[in-house]
Amino acid sequence: MAYVGLTKPRVIELLLLTTVPVMFFAAGGVPDLGLVVATVLGGSLSAGSASVFNCVYDRDIDEQMRRTRRRALPRHIITPRAALVFGFVLGILSTVVLWAWVNELSAGLSVAAIAFYVFGYTMLLKRRTTQNIVWGGIAGCFPALIGWTAVTEELAWAPFVLFAVVFFWTPPHTWALALRYREDYKQVDVPMLPVVRSARVVARQIVAYSWVMVATSLLLWPVAGTGLVYPVAAAVLGAVFLVQAHQLERRARGTEDLAVIRPMHLFHSSNLYLSLLFVAVAIDPLLH
């Protein structure tokens, strides 16, 4: 179970949630079950590999943060070398699975996602800039492309719209969490935006990104010619999310008290928003 924990299963679940619905959308209905299984397996191994490498590199700061100090490496249950080997094994297996049973393009995108998350976000951006998760979040957008290419074996504008939705969703989602744990990040000198800016400034940024995210989500309707299920769902879910983002901004005016701001409310809501939006992505072609 310690090794499983290194793969961050909850992150894998979220990434798969943006992979499988896109496969339904790309197929215009129910995709081949074997292809779905192979893509899910390869994607899970890929995301797990990236997470393991992240845990190895960040083990020094994870040991000092309340949210992460119970992980296997900070508790010295697993050695860094053993974890590193585990990460490479998962990465190799994911590439083999996707290359052999899905296609070369999907396998290549998977490798690119791992590389960007490890080298781009974890090693280069995370400890150097307040924009770490803005650009580092690109790695979490790749599943939309992988799900599409698994079915079509080519790229198109539609998956890039969904890629952009996840890109603009990441800052509100992560900054809400970082607000809750800003003292942890401050203690280990990770310059997350809530560490170096006031809660009100962070909340305004969350509102700005939320508006762009919702507008981007509605682009899928004209770009991909969806039915009415998706745009209606996107509009309703987007409206609810924007209300919650503005409520967070109002609560953050003139206070740094997290009990008043309640950032975790938006964090959990962001998970629900993305989940339901991609469920709509999967359902739309079934009813269109």
Reported as a single tens digit per residue, the pLDDT across 201-215 is 999 999 999 999 999
Query: What mean pLDDT do residues 247-257 have?
Result: 94
Give the dihedral sign, CA 254/272/226/44: positive
Query: What mean pLDDT do residues 95-118 have?
Result: 98
> pLDDT of 145-161, one tens digit each?
999 999 999 999 999 99
pLDDT computed for residue 67 by the predictor: 86
Tell me, yes or no, if the pTM score tops 0.85.
Answer: yes
> pLDDT of 212-247, one tens digit each?
999 999 999 999 999 999 999 999 999 999 999 999
Tokens of 201: 């400034």
CA pair distance 181, 280, nearest whole angstrom: 32
Residue type, 167: F
According to CATH, the topology of domain 1-130 is Tetracycline Repressor; domain 2 (1.10.357)
CA pair distance 77, 228, nearest whole angstrom: 51
pLDDT computed for residue 138 by the predictor: 95
99 near 166, Cβ under 8 Å?
Answer: no
> pLDDT of 135-147, one tens digit each?
999 999 999 999 9
Give the dihedral sign, CA 38/147/167/282: negative
CATH code matching the domain that covers 156-288, chosen among 1.20.120, 1.10.20, 1.10.10, 1.10.1740: 1.20.120
Tokens of 160: 């890039």
DSSP state of 117: I
The domain ranges of the chain are 1-130, 156-288
CA pair distance 197, 97, nearest whole angstrom: 44
Task: Tally the C-alpha atoms within 13 A of residue 49's C-alpha that lie toward its C-beta.
Answer: 24
> pLDDT of 56-91, one tens digit each?
999 999 999 888 888 889 898 999 999 999 999 999
Q: Which helix (H) or strand (E) holds 242?
A: helix 229-251
DSSP string computed for 27-92: HTSPPPHHHHHHHHHHHHHHHHHHHHHHHHHTHHHHTT-TTTTTSTTTTTSS-HHHHHHHHHHHHH
Residue type, 8: K
**Range of weakest confidence among 43-52, 61-70, 116-125:** 61-70
Phi, psi of 158 (to 5 degrees): -55, -50
Phi-psi region of 8 (alpha: psi -120 to 50; beta: other; left: phi over 0): left
The Cα angle at residue 88 between residues 83 and 90, in degrees rounded to 5? 95
Q: Tell the burial category of 263 from Cβ atoms under 10 Å away from its Cβ (0-12, 13-18, 19+).
A: buried
Band of residue 288 on the pLDDT scale cut at 50, 70, 90 = confident
CA pair distance 282, 276, nearest whole angstrom: 10
DSSP state of 255: -
